[in-house]
Amino acid sequence: MIKNAPLKHWLNNSGWQIVKTMHDVVFSKIMFIILEANNVVGSANDVTISDALQWMNIHIYVMQN
């Protein structure tokens, strides 16, 4: 059973509960990979698009044996 997942009925926030549960699973797997890695490198790039929107690109590279 997935922790905090809705069991029987759909409510107004059921979609958010599913997304939160998926986030928790992905986050824990990523943290496990990072903690077990030999080397971790991160980079962040700020990008401004022509319509004045700004985006932050974040890349994490992991090296394992």
Q: Supply the DSSP string of the chain, one letter for each residue.
A: --TT---S---TTHHHHHHHHHHHHHHHHHHHHHHH-SEEEEEEEEEE-TTS-EEEEEEEEEE--
For residue range 2-57, list pLDDT tens digits in order.
Answer: 666 656 667 778 788 889 999 999 999 999 998 999 999 999 988 887 777 888 88
* Domain positions in the chain: 39-65
Is the full-model pTM beyond 0.85?
A: no
For residue 58, pLDDT over 60 is answered with yes
